[in-house]
Amino acid sequence: MLLVVSIVLAACGGGNGDENAGGSEGQTYNWKFVTEEVDGQVQYEYAEEFAKRMKEKSDGAVNIEVYEFGGLGSETDQVEQLQNGAVEMAVMSPGFTGNMVKEGQIFALHFLFPDSVEKTQQILNDSEALNKDLRGKYEEHSISPLSYWTEGAMQWTSSKEISEPADFQNFKMRTQTSPLILESYKAYGADPTPMSWSELYTALDRGTVEGQENPIFFIGDASFYEVQDYMTISNHNNYVAMTTVNTDWYEGLNDEMKTMVDETVSEMQEWVFEEQKSQNEKWLEEIKNDDENPTEIVELTEEQREMFKEKAMPVRDFYRSDVSTVDGKILDKLQEEIKAAGE
Ligand code: 6CS
C-alpha cells in the first residue's frame, strides 16, 4: 500500500512542492494537504477552506491539493507521509500518534477539559503547555502542530445501553490506536480494540466490536448510528484535531509564505469552531428524527457521570508515571491553565 501511495504522490509532484524556488516574482507553490475525513466532514471542509484562503491571499500562487481520507492509506500511513515530506500539511488526530509521541496522549484523558466546548476551544487556542511544550515533543518527530481544534464533544454509541461503568464490563469497544485511549476504556472494565475508522461500520454491523466514541457529526455522517442501537450523551472528552505541517518544510518557507500560513491557521480557528458546531447540531436532529434507523439517546445523570469520572481519574496517574517522558509536566501545566481559565 505504501509503495502505491509513494508512486501516486511522486506522480502528483513530490519534492518540496515549490516551483521556480528562489523567491522571484511569479513563483508558484504546490502543496498537498491530507485529512482523515471525507468530503463534507469537518476536517475535509477545513482543508478546502484553508486552500481557498491561501489561494486568494497569494493571488493564485499557492495551490493546495486536498486529499480525502482513504486515497493515501490509513491514518497512520498519513502520519508517515507528513513526517517524510511526501505531503506538506495534514489534519491529524493525536489518537493515531500515541505510539510515537507519548505526551500527545494527554488528549486521551477523560473529563480533563471543561464540559463547555467553547471553553475547551479557548484553552486549545491559548495553552502554552500545548502550543509550545507539546508542539516541541511533536517536532522531535518532524511534525509541527500549528493549531489544536475541537471537532466537538465525544459520545458513545453501542449495541446495548451504556449508562454506568458496569455496562462497559467486557464490552468490545473500538478505539483509535494510541495506547492510553485503550487504558481509558480498560479503566471502565471494557475490552478495547484499536482500528481504523475505515473498517468501523462493518465491524459494528457484524458485532466484531459493540461500540465506539466520536463527535455526533461523525457518528451521523459515517452512518455508525445506523448499525448501533444507543447513543449515550457522555461528553466524556473532546475530539481534538491538529493542523500539522512537516517541520523542515515549514521552517524552510520564506517569511511571506510562513506569515500567510500562520495567519490563515489562526483565522481558521473561529471558522472551524462554527463548522463543527453546525455539523454536530444538524446531525443530532437527523439522528433523532431518523425513524428508519431508530437510536435511543441516553442522557447521563450527574451521578452517573461522577461514576465514570471516578474510574477515569487513576488514568491520569498512569499517564504521569508510565506514559509521560517528562513526569507529567505538560499535564500539570495544562491543568493549571484550565484552572486559571476558571474551570
Ligand atoms: O474515529 C475516527 O478515527 C475518526 N473520527 C473523526 C472525528 N475524524 C477522523 C478520525 O479518524
Instruction: Walk me through the domains of the chain, giving residue ranges and CATH numbers.
Output: 29-340 (3.40.190.170)
Rounded (5°) CA angle 132-137-51: 70
pLDDT in the model for residue 13: 46
Strand, coil or helix: what is 85? coil
**Nearest atom in ligand 1 to 151's CA:** 7
- Strand segments (E) across 93-237: 143-158, 172-175, 191-194, 211-215, 230-233
Chain segment 171-211, per-residue pLDDT in tens? 999 999 999 999 999 999 999 999 999 999 999 999 999 99
> 217-256 pLDDT, tens per residue?
999 999 999 999 999 999 999 999 999 999 999 999 999 9
Specify the amino acid at residue 65: E
Residue 73 DSSP one-character state? B
- Measure the CA–CA gap between 257 and 253, rounded to whole angstroms: 6
First to last CA, the chain: 45
**14 — pLDDT class (breaks 50, 70, 90):** very low
Of all protein residues, the one whose alpha carbon is nearest to atom 2 of ligand 1 is: 197
The DSSP line for 200-234 is: HHHHHHHTSS-EEEEEHHHHHHTTGGGG-SEEEE-
CA separation for the pair 318, 290 (Å, rounded):
41
> For 64-87, how does the pLDDT look when each residue is reduced to its tens digit (9 = 90+)?
999 999 989 999 999 999 999 999
C-alpha of residue 209 to centroid of ligand 1, in Å: 16
The answer to which of 10-14, 91-95, 141-145, 148-152 has the lowest mean pLDDT is 10-14
Nearest atom in ligand 1 to the alpha carbon of residue 197 is 3
pTM, whole model, 2 decimals?
0.95
Which residue ranges have their beta carbon within 6 Å of ligand 1? 36-37, 75, 93, 151, 176, 197, 214-215, 218, 239
Query: SS3 for 23?
Result: coil
Q: Is 44 helix (H, G, I), strand (E, B) or coil?
A: helix
Closest to 168 measured CA to CA, from 180, 179, 155, 156 = 156
Smallest CA separation from ligand 1 atom 4, residue? 197
Q: What does the pLDDT look like over 19-44, one tens digit per residue? A: 544 444 689 999 999 999 999 999 99
- Half-sphere CA count of 263, side-chain side, radius 13 A: 10
Asked if 276 contacts 217 with a C-beta cutoff of 8 angstroms, the reply is yes
- Going from the Cα of 68 to the center of ligand 1, the distance in angstroms, rounded, reads 12
